[in-house]
Amino acid sequence: MHVEVAIIGGGIAGLSCAANLGSDVSAVVLEAEPTLGYHATGRSAALYTECYGSRTIHALTTASRTYLTELHPQTSTPRGLMFVAPSGDEEAIANLMVEFGPLVPSLLRLTPTDVEQSCGLFPTSLVAGGVYEKGARDIDVDALLSSFASTARVNGVTVMTSAPVTAIERSSGGWTVVTSDFQYTADVVVNAAGAWGDRIAAMAGVAPLGLIPLARSVFTCDPGQDPQAWPMIVDARERWYLKPEGPHLLGSGASEIPSEPMDARVDERDVALGIEKVTTASTLNIRSVKNTWAGLRTFAPDRIPVAGFDPDHPGFFWLVGQGGYGIMTSPALGALAGCLVRSLAIPEELSNCGVSVEDLDPLRLR
Ligand SMILES: Cc1cc2nc3c(=O)[nH]c(=O)nc-3n(C[C@H](O)[C@H](O)[C@H](O)COP(=O)(O)OP(=O)(O)OC[C@H]3O[C@@H](n4cnc5c(N)ncnc54)[C@H](O)[C@@H]3O)c2cc1C
């Protein structure tokens, strides 16, 4: 079978790209697992925040907002985000205001009393204060993934699960992509394989980018009170976070443990460390842990996503390195990738937000 574009990976990256190819491009998404979004995409904290990462991440995030709030409002709901600094660490709050204040004008500096009143876990004796981002949102990852998948299917893209790519070869004018059951020829291969990105490159004879998968364990617990109106709460130096999940709280020690690309398993010590961090920083009394899981956040060496054709291998397109922001940046990154794959200029809505093709180009890592 011949397609113009073969996308490897059925996570948020691959599907957001597939949704942006238009109806005049023949394409297939090949996902190794029986379900879409099984790896990093299905394991995130599902937050949208404009106070995270570098300026490039901020540009991609703000450029994604309209999709999440107006075009597909079922994909996100208001949450708010409160950064909290422990007693004595006023500097952490000042740093956040310096870094993100100019980018997010609605950012509010909170007194210890404001923090105490916002959720009851932080008496004034424990905190130096906080910073509040009203526009932060919960993302419904299933709804977002489904919105991309259904747009792709309506446009005629074939989405295949249980289709692990086992070999990629250069063929005349393009690529031959082999799965366990099928073989495709394609003009363009999109490498959206997350933690496996460098392995997919190796299969195709393309030099790796040095992607770094980092494991993080997460738990949910019963906070003993109703957290549903609380904001997401993040340590001002990102050492832990808590997020309401219905009647429960999701927590993490925000660890970054180097890992091979794999089906990430919970590290019990990592969960215990996370519980220790959140219970030391607050009055939270964790009676029982309801659920635990782990996922890989995969970064490029400079922690900026990679979207663009490999400089040495025409037709091999990288869409990797979304790290800890791949869900909230996916509308913009998918739109950008969809244009670049078709050799089109990126939409004005992206460049107006400061998204630049050069910032994301894999050439910077060679
Ligand atoms: C604990 C945690 C918290 C997070 N919190 C947030 C958050 O609050 N907000 C946010 O925006 N982001 C968050 N993230 C990051 C976000 O989840 C990732 O950036 C994003 O999911 C990456 O998507 P992806 O499609 O690149 O990777 P993946 O979802 O891993 O998809 C890659 C896919 O490629 C497939 N694949 C690999 N090899 C092959 C092959 N040979 N053949 C076919 N298919 C293959 C895999 O099976 C996989 O499904 C978090 C991540 C974690 C782990």
pLDDT in the model for residue 173: 80
- Report the first-to-last Cα separation within the chain, whole angstroms: 33
pLDDT in tens, 294-304: 999 999 999 99
Tokens of 338: 């969809």
Does residue 209 have its Cβ closer than 6 Å to ligand 1?
Answer: no
- Other CB atoms within a 10 A radius of the CB of residue 104 amount to 20
Does residue 80 have its Cβ closer than 6 Å to ligand 1?
Answer: no
For residue 202, report the distance from its CA to the centre of ligand 1, in Å. 19
pLDDT band with cut points at 50, 70 and 90 for residue 355: very high
Q: Of 28, 39, 60, 262, which is best to mutate to test ligand 1, by the most ligand atoms within 8 angstroms of its C-beta?
A: 39
Domain residue limits, the chain: 2-43+141-210+301-365, 81-134+212-299
Does residue 321 have its Cβ closer than 6 Å to ligand 1?
Answer: no
pLDDT in the model for residue 172: 81
Tell me the C-alpha distance between 236 and 269, whole Å.
Answer: 23
pLDDT band with cut points at 50, 70 and 90 for residue 310: very high
Does residue 12 have its Cβ closer than 6 Å to ligand 1?
Answer: yes
CATH for the 2-43+141-210+301-365 domain, from 3.30.70.20, 3.50.50.60, 3.30.70.100, 3.40.50.2300: 3.50.50.60
Return the residue matching tokens 């909170």: 110
Does residue 305 have its Cβ closer than 6 Å to ligand 1?
Answer: no
From 42, 22, 46, select the one nearest 33 (Cα to Cα): 42
Tell me the C-alpha distance between 335 and 338, whole Å.
Answer: 5
Tokens of 152: 């792709």
Superfamily of domain 81-134+212-299: D-Amino Acid Oxidase, subunit A, domain 2 (3.30.9.10)
Does residue 303 have its Cβ closer than 6 Å to ligand 1?
Answer: no
Does residue 8 have its Cβ closer than 6 Å to ligand 1?
Answer: yes
pLDDT band with cut points at 50, 70 and 90 for residue 123: very high
For residue 37, report the distance from its CA to the centre of ligand 1, in Å. 7
Q: How many residues does the chain have?
A: 366
Tell me the C-alpha distance between 233 and 242, whole Å.
Answer: 5
pLDDT in tens, 166-205: 999 998 889 999 999 999 999 999 999 999 999 999 999 9
Q: Which residue CA neighbors atom 52 of ligand 1 most closely?
A: 44
Tell me the C-alpha distance between 6 and 191, whole Å.
Answer: 9
Return the residue matching tokens 């991440």: 57
Does residue 327 have its Cβ closer than 6 Å to ligand 1?
Answer: yes
